Every structure is written in structure tokens, then in C-alpha cells.
Amino acid sequence: MGGAIVLLTVGPAVLLAGSWVALNIRGSAGALERRAAAAAELAMHARGDLGPARRVASAAFYRFAGSVLALCGIILTLGGLLELA
């Protein structure tokens, strides 16, 4: 019973977070892309490299990762429902 409660709590949260990025609600995938670029630039400056920052991941990658995360949330939720039954 305790595992079902955990799965039914974590599953919808993961589903919501993943679908938020996968559907690019309010530009979340673009914001993640900009944040990664800024972090890569800061890391390069900390190392003393003043060249242009490499592009780590695009918004399409974050949308793909969000869709995988949403799918995992569905699986966790269904696992919790099956454990209750």
C-alpha cells in the first residue's frame, strides 16, 4: 500500500513536469536551452577559455526528453494503480 501511494504521488508530478517541457508551455524548452548555454559559458569563463560556448542541447532535445519523462510518469501512475488493485 505504501508503494502505491508513492507511485501515485510521484507519477502525476513527473507526468506534469515532462508534459510541461514536451509541449513547450510558456517557452520552457527554450528557457532550458538558454540556461544550459549560459551555464556552459560561465563554466568556460571559469576555466579561462574566452571563446564562444559550445551548444550543449537544443530545445528539440529538451522537448524529446520531456516527452520521455511524461511517458515515464504515465508508467509510474499506472504501476501505482495496478498495485492498489
Predicted pLDDT at 54: 81
Pairwise CA distance, residues 29 & 24, whole Å = 5
Q: Per-residue pLDDT tens for 8-20?
A: 999 999 999 999 9
Backbone angles phi, psi at 48, to 5 degrees: 95, 5
Helix (H) or strand (E) holding 65: helix 59-84
Predicted pLDDT at 46: 92
User: Residues 60-73: what's their mean pLDDT?
Assistant: 95
Pairwise CA distance, residues 57 & 61, whole Å = 6
Q: Per-residue pLDDT tens for 6-61?
A: 999 999 999 999 999 999 888 999 999 999 999 999 999 999 988 887 888 888 99
Helices 2-22 and 59-84: angle between axes, nearest 10 degrees: 160
